[in-house]
Amino acid sequence: MNNIHTIAFDADDTLWVNETFFRDAEDEVCKLLSPYINYESCQQRLFEMEMRNLSLYGYGIKPFTLSLIECAQEVSEGKVTNEIIASIIDIGKEMLNAPVNLIDGIEEVLDQLSDKYKLVVATKGDLLDQERKLEKSGLSKYFHHIEVMSDKQPANYLKLVKHLDIDPTSFLMIGNSLKSDVLPVLEIGGHAFHIPFHTTWAHEQVDIEITHERFKSFKASSDILKYL
């Protein structure tokens, strides 16, 4: 821990609540599509459509909304009404305009750590949307640099630490996803803290137990202050 001088925070579900908006949107859409498909099958088809489009659209609310519309057209065999499409578009807009609700205790953590470390945001998603949420959150004053990544693979993190002009061994990543925030950072020689969120997107779930000297898991963000 003594080597760490740069700490990166994931944004969605680490700094503020995010995943619940997506799950609520899927619930609404599957209710709208009930004339064409049952609820459980709709949930599965939505996920499959997101995975099919991920490499083309990337992450974020706008790609998600496009996938919802495409899924509606597909499961209805082209019979989906204009009213339902309009409702799905409205759901996407509501997500973009949703309030930013901070994770409990996170601002106190940032306030304390910003005096000792260089703090950055390292997140995935749509640049405009993530910038909007950061501004609405009131947290931007704590961060030295904001990095919105197309993906979170080892190569993406290596690019980030090179840009920051630091060695990976002095870099700590804090996030809610083992797949995106922990495993690739450990692979490049960095440190990683995991703070689970109560809801995790299926694409981010990994069934693995991590035992590593550069890894720690916590129940709440405030718990990390005992180690930093």
Q: In the numeric block, which tokens belong to residue 95? A: 């997500």
Q: pLDDT band at 198, cuts 50/70/90?
A: low
Q: How far apart are CA 17 and CA 100, in angstroms?
A: 7
Q: What is the model's pTM?
A: 0.87
Domain locations in the chain as residue ranges: 6-16+101-226, 19-96
Strand 171-175 with 191-194, pairing: parallel
Q: In the numeric block, which tokens belong to residue 101? A: 């609700």
Query: What percentage of residues in the chain have a pLDDT greater than 70?
Result: 95
Q: Please choose, from the candidates 219, 224, 166, 179, the residue with its C-alpha nearest in 3D space to the C-alpha of residue 5.
A: 166
- The third-level CATH classification (topology) of the domain covering 19-96 is DNA polymerase; domain 1 (1.10.150)
The per-residue pLDDT of the chain, averaged, comes to 92
Of 7-16, 69-78, 201-210, the range with the lowest mean pLDDT is 201-210
**Pair 153, 177: CB distance under 8 Å:** no
Q: What residue type is assigned to position 150 of the chain? A: S
Look at residue 204 in the predicted model and tell me its pLDDT: 60
What separation in angstroms does the CA of 21 have from each of 95, 197, 200, 221?
Answer: 7, 13, 12, 21
Q: Return all residues near 1 (Cβ < 8 A) that are at least 6 apart.
A: 191, 227, 228
Q: Return all residues near 206 (Cβ < 8 A) that are at least 6 apart.
A: 178, 179, 183
Q: Please choose, from the candidates 101, 107, 102, 100, the residue with its C-alpha nearest in 3D space to the C-alpha of residue 222.
A: 107
pLDDT tens figures, 105-146:
999 999 999 999 999 999 988 888 899 999 999 999 999 999
Cα angle, residue 148 at apex, residues 175 and 9 outer, rounded to 5°: 25
Look at residue 185 in the predicted model and tell me its pLDDT: 97
Domain 6-16+101-226 has CATH 3.40.50.1000: yes
